[in-house]
Chain A
Amino acid sequence: MTDTIAAEKAEALVTGKIDELLSGYDPSMDPQEFWGRQYDLGLAWVQYPEGFGGLGVSPKYQSIVQRRIEAAGAPTWNRQINLLGIGMGAGVISAHGTAEQMRKWLRPMFTTEDMWCQLFSEPGAGSDLANLSAKAVRDGDEWIVNGQKVWTTLAHIAKWGMLPVRTDPDVPKHKGITYFIVDMEADGVDVRPLYQITGEAEFNEVFFDDVRIPDEYRLDDVGAGWRVSMTTLMNERVAIGSRSLPRGSGSIKDAIRAWREYEHDDPALRDELTRLWAEWEALRLTVERANQMRKAGIPGPEGSTGKLAWADLNKAITAFSVELMGWDGTLYPGGYELHRPTEFEDSGSPQRNFLRARANSIEGGTSEIMRNILGERVLGLPGEPRVDKDLPWKEVPRG
């Protein structure tokens, strides 16, 4: 009974704030100003405490906020613009940061005034992220960072970066990492484009040469960086694996368009197209089921399979779309002009999408690592023996 009253009160609070937000909305308003108001009213992340973009109520009310804002035609694409900040950074800062840190970073992140990037992978630390070797050495109230990161999405326009570095090489690899937020405009940060097989440079290499980070930009304890990194990665994988889409959208749409445009009628191709459609729909229904179960508080294994299934299927479907194009599939419209996008580019020509999809089973955790995670954490199978687990990091062979 008291739960019902509390729920009614929470819903009334949320809808009241939404009314207030939307009554002040004017289509000519700068989106950043709108997002600022949304944040100040506690409608950025309703589950966060008041004063930090939230109202301290259950996260399930966020869907009401999104629906109402969309229905009013007001801007909702800040998450898309600042995916790494809003999609991953916010969760990490709220879980591991201090009130002061939340106050500093969350609002400009939400309004997209400050863009974010994630500085995880290194040339010598991909799947084995805990092996990272970019290092920070303490110097009074500051830390001095040296090293190199790679595959950093949008680093060239980011203001802030999430940066785990090695602070103690004498302990085993998981224990000697500390997590910082780095100002990407600081002296000694050098961002260089990394062109990928599509000719775009969504990613960058980032070099740190005696970069100074104040200790108040450290997230959680010294040596706790692995735990913080795991929070970030879990958020990332859930974000990739739980995007809910309408039936027949996404890459299968390209395949169906090509099927019709090229007037195919071959039964073998039709069977393959239908098989891919069915697999894609099964994935879509699984994401929908997982999202429902997660919201209902009864999450199951269906919530962990999305990233792996999506990666392999998207690769297969984008490859099939190009196959349907025949000789046209051998062309590359626009050519390979090297360029640097300023936001996520979700789609392009089928040929470009085919190439881009090759990364799906690598980025955000390779499919091999995802299978290990499903096997070990979801199915409860034993881990591989690890030769480096108890060795001090500096004694682990690498290369």
Chain B
Amino acid sequence: MADTPRVTFALTEEQEMLRQTTRQFLEDRVSPTVVRELMETETGFDAALWQSGAELGWHSLAIPEEYGGAGYTFAELSVVLEEMGRALFPGPFLSTVVMAANAIVLGGRDSQKKELLPGIAMGESMMTMALFEGPQGATTDDIRMTAAQDGEAWILDGVKKNVLFGHVAGTIVTAARTPNGLSLFLVPADTGGLNAEHVPTLDATRKQANLTFSGVRLGPEALLGNEGTAGPVIDRVLRLASVALSLEQVGGAQWCLETSVEHGQTRFQFGRAIGSFQAIKHRLADMLVSVEHAKSTAYHAARIVDDTDELLVAAPLAKSVCSEAYLRAASDTIQILGGTGFTWEHDTHLYLKRAKSTSLMFGGVRHQRRLLAEALGL
């Protein structure tokens, strides 16, 4: 095996400032009360909040300058994603900024990039990707929907399940089999024959819809890039989305750790703070270890996304390690908080639901380890 790429873990001054302003903004504007209000709506986002995020530059960070972006890297975006995970940020950020934007950057024609990316960078567009059709969807092999050719036009028929914010997005980037392989199509939400049905989610802060395509007719301009070339684009987007979720998971797991520690310091039973009992203290020490390990894998992955070989290792590594760390941190937090942790009123269940649902997205922990084993030749 080639030498493992070494990354610099410390944040640059600029990244540190971004972290501070992002956290401050999220604390001011995305309190648990706000999260809960949006959670109870069907659309799950707030237009003013979405726009403010864009004004802070979050949406444009990793979009190239020539297409209206700020031209930074995934490392900067990763700082925002971690903070969003900590705050349970609600809205189609992952589906728009991480998934659709990268699909367009990687697969789009120059004219499509010019047309679509500035809108994302400025916070005018909400997008998503409609990829999978069944509960185990995780790789391009799982994409079965076909697009039939009718002269210059393409006709899409089928159902796409579990589309993140699929009922909210203005443009859906969907995948279908075409004569020369796998292709991506840009489908405006108001296209005839497209129906989006919101479905309730385990994690109500991240909405989903099932999309039905009934003879959806698209012009040739709807094809993203060239026909039959979408496979590698989708592969890469899935890996970037996995890394993005790992960072969210790290932010959420750190919240769980801090919440449990504070409870251990302030909750008294048997005349002592319960954190003085080794039964609690040792559980928290183990949580600290697993959260620190999760951070290392997520930070590493965020810094090597441009190294395509290493990403094959780093993305499933981060996704599997961070998923397990977050789930364990959230479950243990409920245990340490006792009855309180099981109440609707306490925020921990929101983190547990995030933990479980993000661990399943784009392939669960065992799927990630299969990818990792493949990359390692095991």
Contact = CB atoms under 8 A, between A and B. Distances in A.
B293 interface: yes
Contacts of B275: 375, 379, 381-382
Given A278-B369, A381-B273, A375 B284 contact: yes
Contacts of B282: 368, 371-372, 375
Interface string B345-378: 0000000000000000000001001101100101
A247 B297 contact: no
**Most chain B CB inside 10 Å of its own CB: which residue of A279, A286, A375, A378:** A375
B278 interface: yes
Given A281-B297, A382-B276, A301 B292 contact: yes
Given A259-B378, A271-B366, A289-B299, A384 B373 contact: no
A281 B261 contact: no
**Most chain A CB inside 10 Å of its own CB: which residue of B10, B294, B300, B378:** B378
B344 interface: no
23 contacts: A246-B3, A271-B369, A274-B370, A274-B373, A274-B378, A275-B369, A278-B317, A278-B369, A279-B293, A282-B294, A285-B297, A285-B300, A302-B292, A305-B292, A308-B285, A374-B285, A376-B281, A381-B273, A381-B276, A381-B284, A382-B265, A383-B276, A385-B272
A142 interface: no
A270 B278 contact: no
Nearest to B282: A371
Given A274-B372, A375-B275, A302 B295 contact: yes
B7 to A, nearest CB: 9
A189 interface: no
Contacts of A282: 293-294, 296-297, 317, 321
A274 B369 contact: yes
A283 interface: yes
Given A256-B378, A274-B373, 18 more contacts: A247-B1, A273-B373, A275-B320, A277-B378, A278-B297, A282-B293, A286-B292, A288-B9, A293-B10, A308-B285, A308-B289, A309-B293, A372-B278, A372-B282, A372-B285, A378-B288, A379-B284, A383-B276
A370 B285 CA distance: 9
A277 B376 contact: yes
A375 B285 contact: yes
B289 A285 contact: no
A380 interface: yes
A267 to B, nearest CB: 8
Contacts of A305: 288-289, 292-293
Interface residues of B, number: 42
A247 B310 CA distance: 12
A374 B293 CA distance: 15
Contacts of A199: none
Interface string B27-50: 000000000000000000000000
Nearest to B373: A274
A274 B292 contact: no
A298 interface: yes
A380 B300 CA distance: 28
Nearest to A287: B296
Contact of A248 (B1, B273, B285): B1
Contacts of A387: none
Contacts of A309: 289, 293
A283 to B, nearest CB: 6
Contacts of B265: 380-382
Interface string B1-20: 10110101110000000000
Contacts of B9: 288-289, 292-293
A378 B277 CA distance: 16
Nearest to B260: A379
A1 interface: no
B288 A301 contact: yes
Interface in B257-295: 261, 264-265, 272-273, 275-278, 280-282, 284-286, 288-289, 292-295
A371 B373 contact: no
Contacts of B372: 274, 277-278
B373 A379 contact: no
A5 interface: no
- Chain A facing B: main interface SS: helix
Interface string A261-281: 000000000110111011101
Contacts of B369: 271, 274-275, 278
A29 B10 CA distance: 41
**Most chain A CB inside 10 Å of its own CB: which residue of B288, B321, B366:** B288
What are the 9 tightest A-B residue pairs by CB atom distance, in nearest-first order?
A: A375-B281, A381-B275, A285-B296, A282-B293, A371-B285, A374-B285, A382-B276, A247-B4, A286-B296
B160 to A, nearest CB: 29
Nearest to B280: A381
A298 B317 CA distance: 26
A296 interface: yes
A365 to B, nearest CB: 13
Nearest to A246: B4
A146 B134 CA distance: 75
B264 A381 contact: yes
B251 to A, nearest CB: 16
Nearest to A267: B370
Given A256-B378, A273-B378, A375-B284, A384 B276 contact: yes
A314 to B, nearest CB: 14
Given A381-B275, A381-B284, A384-B276, A302 B296 contact: yes
Contact of A289 (B4, B280, B285, B296): B296
A275 to B, nearest CB: 6
A385 B317 contact: no
Nearest to B297: A282
Nearest to B287: A379
A172 B83 CA distance: 47
Interface in A350-373: 368, 370-372
Interface in A230-252: 246-248
B8 A292 contact: yes
Contacts of A278: 297, 317, 320-321, 369, 372
Contacts of A382: 265, 272-273, 275-276
A324 to B, nearest CB: 12
Contacts of B10: 292-293, 296, 298
Contacts of A378: 288
A384 B3 CA distance: 46
Interface in B287-345: 288-289, 292-297, 299-300, 317, 320-321
Contact of B278 (A281, A296, A371): A371
Contacts of A374: 284-285, 288-289
A198 to B, nearest CB: 27
A368 B300 contact: no
B255 to A, nearest CB: 14
Nearest to B293: A282
Nearest to B372: A274
Nearest to A247: B4
Interface string A318-345: 0000000000000000000000000000
